[in-house]
Amino acid sequence: MSEIKTNTLTPGMVLTNDIEDRNGYLLLPAGTQLGEGHILLLKKLGLGAVEAVPEAEAKGITIVDPYEEYIRNFFVYCDPDNEAMLEIYRIAVARTKLAVERGWIMPTEDERLARNLEFMKDLYRSGEGTAKDIVDHETELATFPDIYFRIKEVLDAPSSSANDIARVVSTDVGLSAKLLKLVNSPFYGFADTIDSIAHAVSLVGIKEISTLALGISTINFFKDIPPELMDMKTFWRHSLSCGILSRLIAMRAKKKDPSIEPDRLFTAGLLHDVGRLIIFKKQPYASVQALLYARENMLPLVDAEAEVLGFDHTEVANLLLSEWNFPAAITAAIVHHHDPQAAQNPKEAGIIQIADNLTNAVEISGGGMYVLPGIQDNAWEGLGLNTRELVGIVDQFDEHIEDVLGAFL
């Protein structure tokens, strides 16, 4: 095959040779039908020419979709017969294609590997510390924010009024500001400005505002994660994304089951990985080992945690949230989001599971590296929703994510 100069390539041409980076990792396989994003990538790589043919001359060449080839790596543990997962897969492929067309370069295999941090010190040696040991050590040394317990007291008291919760929340300026930013965002869609916590409570509800306040006060507890280990803005973006998607799914599911509480599920989605934060704090080196193991073996991180640590973040979350006397319904949704059928309320845990997978899927086109753990067959079907609604849910997510991030971070 003759070489074609990179600056004369046009969309639709087909590669006849693999394109590799300087380390020998495959970037684009032979058979890739070039789009604008691919051509931009080849130019950025500094390649003067590549072996390719016009589409009309590509007879006999098996056309490969590089987007599907890339995305498939993250879906290997998902049931290919699960209709919801298939729709999530299609969403991930479409978003990746769009990102590449806008100039994003898909990471190479080498770039997908995590960095090893040998200098970090763990609380326990490998194989010694249990989930309970880690949680016990954390709760002995750290003081949870007082505002959390005051909100919890109001939430648990049957006689609590809107004025009670407004008075408690208003004593914390930072918490009040975040709540007001959130309820004034398009995510809630109120026509008029909400200028006080009392006003927010009257519109959103006592239980709903209390639940949101609990979630926000919990976030404030985690301020000392080593920056070398985890970019906390990235972590909270993932957590908030899961919270937003959980609420959006729940709002649709609530039309068929009025017992579903979208704001409760927003908080559960926001805190679904809270157990992972404790592992980061107490076992930073082991956390990186789990991440390395997950990426090198293309495993869901929850499975890699079990292999490396002997337990996973849901076990830690169960112990931690029990110690904090967190609301039972939120705790159950968090603890069972990888196994909804084990929860007392499988629908709510299932919503978090779907939202978590959907979050990982939409993050792939921005450099996200997590292999999706998949969703149980009845998690989506049990909600009575059509899989086509997932596209609309993701569109709504795209509209709201930056506003909600602005309220929290």
CATH at 258: 1.10.3210.10
The pLDDT assigned to 228 comes to 66
Query: Among 75-84, 131-140, 350-359, which is the least confidently predicted range?
Result: 131-140
Has residue 53 been placed in a domain? yes
322 — phi, psi (to 5°)?
-65, -40
The string over 154-180, giving b where at least 16 C-beta atoms fall within 10 Å of a residue's C-beta and e elsewhere, is bbeeeebebebbbebbeebeebbebbb
Report, as an integer, the average pLDDT of 376-385: 93
The pLDDT assigned to 317 comes to 94
Residue 26: give its domain's CATH number.
3.90.105.10
How far is residue 49's CA from residue 323's CA, in Å, rounded to a whole number?
62
The pLDDT assigned to 371 comes to 95
Question: In sequence order, what are the residues at sequence separation of 6 or more whose Cβ sits closer than 8 angstroms to the Cβ of residue 44?
Answer: 105
How far is residue 315's CA from residue 334's CA, in Å, rounded to a whole number?
10
Which residue in the block uniquely carries the two structure tokens 């058979």?
A: 31
Task: Looking at the structure, tell me whether residues 277 and 353 fall in a common domain.
Answer: yes
Report, as an integer, the average pLDDT of 11-25: 85
Pair 27, 37: CB distance under 8 Å: no
Longest Cα–Cα distance in the chain? 81
Report, as an integer, the average pLDDT of 264-275: 94
In this predicted structure, the answer to whether residue 25 has a pLDDT above a threshold of 80 is no
In this predicted structure, the answer to whether residue 108 has a pLDDT above a threshold of 60 is yes
Of the pLDDT bands very low, low, confident and very high (cuts 50, 70, 90), residue 373 is: very high
Helix (H) / strand (E) containing 51: strand 49-53
Query: Among 19-23, 28-32, 220-224, which is the least confidently predicted range?
Result: 220-224
Question: Which of 219, 227, 281 is CA-nearest to residue 405?
Answer: 219
Task: Looking at the structure, tell me whether residues 357 and 268 fall in a common domain.
Answer: yes
| Residue 290, CA atoms < 13 Å, CB-side half-sphere | 26
In this predicted structure, the answer to whether residue 51 has a pLDDT above a threshold of 50 is yes
In this predicted structure, the answer to whether residue 55 has a pLDDT above a threshold of 90 is no
How far is residue 61's CA from residue 14's CA, in Å, rounded to a whole number?
8
Please report, for residues 29, 55, 304, the alpha-carbon distance to residue 33 in angstroms, rounded to integers and kept in the order given.
Answer: 10, 8, 35
* pLDDT higher at 221 or 203: 203
Question: What own/partner pairs with CB < 8 Å and gap ≥ 24 does 108-112 have?
Answer: 108/21, 108/23, 108/25, 108/26, 108/27, 109/25, 109/26, 110/21, 110/23, 110/25, 112/295, 112/369
In the listed set 64, 90, 109, which residue is the last one of a domain according to the structure?
64
Has residue 382 been placed in a domain? yes
Quick count: other Cβ atoms within 10 Å of Cβ 215?
Answer: 25
The one-letter amino acid at 203:
L
The string over 126-136, giving b where at least 16 C-beta atoms fall within 10 Å of a residue's C-beta and e elsewhere, is eeebbbeebbe
DSSP 4: E
Has residue 73 been placed in a domain? no
The pLDDT assigned to 141 comes to 41
DSSP H helices, 121-219, are 131-141, 146-156, 162-170, 173-184, 197-204, 206-219
Has residue 317 been placed in a domain? yes
pLDDT in tens, 233-253: 888 899 999 999 999 999 999
The pLDDT assigned to 116 comes to 52
Of the pLDDT bands very low, low, confident and very high (cuts 50, 70, 90), residue 40 is: confident
Of the pLDDT bands very low, low, confident and very high (cuts 50, 70, 90), residue 389 is: very high
Query: What is the extent of the structural domain holding 275?
Result: 131-142+221-408
In this predicted structure, the answer to whether residue 72 has a pLDDT above a threshold of 70 is yes
Task: Looking at the structure, tell me whether residues 270 and 383 fall in a common domain.
Answer: yes
Report, as an integer, the average pLDDT of 68-90: 93
The pLDDT assigned to 113 comes to 61
Q: How many structural domains compose the chain?
A: 2
pTM for this structure?
0.84
In the listed set 64, 85, 117, which residue is the last one of a domain according to the structure?
64
Please report, for residues 32, 64, 108, 371, the alpha-carbon distance to residue 25 in angstroms, rounded to integers and kept in the order given.
Answer: 16, 17, 6, 19
DSSP 32: B
Has residue 298 been placed in a domain? yes
Six-digit token string for 107? 């990471």
Of the pLDDT bands very low, low, confident and very high (cuts 50, 70, 90), residue 120 is: very low
Task: Looking at the structure, tell me whether residues 239 and 367 fall in a common domain.
Answer: yes
In the listed set 64, 88, 103, which residue is the last one of a domain according to the structure?
64
Of the pLDDT bands very low, low, confident and very high (cuts 50, 70, 90), residue 399 is: very high
In this predicted structure, the answer to whether residue 61 has a pLDDT above a threshold of 80 is yes
How far is residue 314's CA from residue 323's CA, in Å, rounded to a whole number?
14
Percent share of the chain, pLDDT over 90: 52
Query: Among 50-59, 135-144, 399-408, which is the least confidently predicted range?
Result: 135-144
In this predicted structure, the answer to whether residue 171 has a pLDDT above a threshold of 50 is yes
How far is residue 100's CA from residue 91's CA, in Å, rounded to a whole number?
14
Report, as an integer, the average pLDDT of 261-272: 95
Task: Looking at the structure, tell me whether residues 48 and 136 fall in a common domain.
Answer: no
In this predicted structure, the answer to whether residue 223 has a pLDDT above a threshold of 80 is no
